[in-house]
Amino acid sequence: MREIILDTETTGLDPKDGHKVIEIGGVEMINKVITGNKFHYYINPERDVPQDAYRIHGISSEFLKDKPLFKDIANEFINFIQNAKLVIHNAPFDIKFLNYELTLLNLPSIELAGVIDTLAIARRTFPGARANLDALCKRFKVDNTNRQFHGALKDAYLLSEIYVELSGGRQVRFSLKEMNGNILKPKQNIQYTGKGNKIVVIPTNRELKEHNAFLSKFINLKTI
């Protein structure tokens, strides 16, 4: 399954008040494994960045002056998320901003009902506990020591790890190809029946001698 872990940074809390998206970060996962395919842009909002917002993400108006407008990256963004399930922490917030920008360009909006909201999952899983990204990183021992400011791409990567944990944890898979040619050889005293996962362990010569010596004690006791 193809999933896009997505996050945004904005100039404020509501597009109805004139606030805009200033950063989008997304990472691709297939079957809960990061592929390396990503989407990341800083965006010129054509307005100032308030100090309250700057204190959260550290992105200044000056920094954004030479960045592309949303309309310049919109089609690339749509192509990136196409045919994928979106995974977002506090999805209504990000979708509200993204749909506002898409609507201004007469582009199709994103259906919130089809988005996986990790904040909602965390609240159901750990009722009453803090469910922000930092709290979940601490709970699942995800390293967020470099998260001095919020950042869309950085937070998307953190969320990808949290999402896997919220989904039940990563299943360990072994592949000979992934081991760079190192071949695991079964021990000589182990045989596989081929029926399910049943394993027959054959005792070694030393183990047989110890077993026979143990049995002989009982045989000698019976003859006394």
Active site residues: 150
∠ CA 70-76-82, nearest 5°, is: 120
User: Are the CB atoms for 144 and 137 separated by under 8 Å?
Assistant: yes
Round to whole Å and give the CA distance between 218 and 221.
5
**Residue 10 pairs with which residues in a beta bridge?**
21
Round to whole Å and give the CA distance between 129 and 125.
9
Query: Which three-class secondary structure state does DSSP give residue 27?
Result: strand
Residues of 35-67 as b/e, b for ≥16 C-beta within 10 angstroms? eeebbebbbbbeeebeeebbeebebeeeebeeb
**Residue 87 pairs with which residues in a beta bridge?**
5, 116
Enumerate residues 6+ apart whose C-beta is below 8 A from 116.
3, 85, 86, 87, 88, 91, 163
- E strands along 11-80, which residues? 21-30, 33-42
